[in-house]
Structure 1
Amino acid sequence: MKLDHATIVTRDPESTRRFLCGIVGLSDGPRPPIRVGGYWLYADGRPVIHLVEATIPALAGKASPRIDHIALRVDDVAEWAALVDRMGSNNVSYTLSEVPLSDEPQLFVSLAPGVAIEVVTQLSRSISIIVD
């Protein structure tokens, strides 16, 4: 079994699409004719993230329907460095941590309205020097 795709429901699918395509490196691709607005974003020729425009109002004091986070894996040092460079050049704030026990570096970005993106790598802990 493997992950097929994740769906993000948001009031602002366009800004999420811009981040995931322009910063993370996914690509906008074909999408079936669905009644609500949105995008399908591709990695390695597969639609891995479905962005859907929220069609119901948010509950008082809460973000629109959402998921907690999506994790993307980067296993190439140059790709990791380029991602961090794009974040810096686009003034994208992020936090770094490590996966407990495995010490895998992970980077978190919070997107409005309330969706987080995680990027994790098996690359050596020394990769975190690139983002310091």
Structure 2
Amino acid sequence: MQLDHATIVTADLETARRFFVDVAGLTQGKRPPFSIDGYWLCASGRPAIHLIDATVPAQTGRAAPRIDHIAFRLESADEWQAFLHRLHAADMPYQLAEVPQIGPQQAELQLFVALAPGVVIEFVTALRHVHRS
């Protein structure tokens, strides 16, 4: 397993995008047409930072910037199945989401686990690694 990406939620997408592209040296990549605005910023050709437009205002009336979640990539069908087995054995609830193929980026399956309020961990694998029942 390896760390896949970090998602940052911010009300100032453009400033964050400029920092990661112009200062950190990431490149702007293609992003699926999600219902919330954002960017996928790439390192070595892979999306490493996901920027998402803040949609929930903070108590002060401004959107609260935050690192939303971390994600781990599982690289094989065996690794994915072993993870699902452990997840089910722990009786952990989760949510699934499919990411469609975009150009050379293959279709993927995302699995989100809420460990506590505001603490989300994502696990992602190529859709081809998923055994459908």
TM-score class, shorter: 0.3 to 0.5
Q: Which has the higher strand share?
A: 2
Normalised by the length of structure 2, the TM-score is 0.47
Q: TM-score scaled by structure 1?
A: 0.48
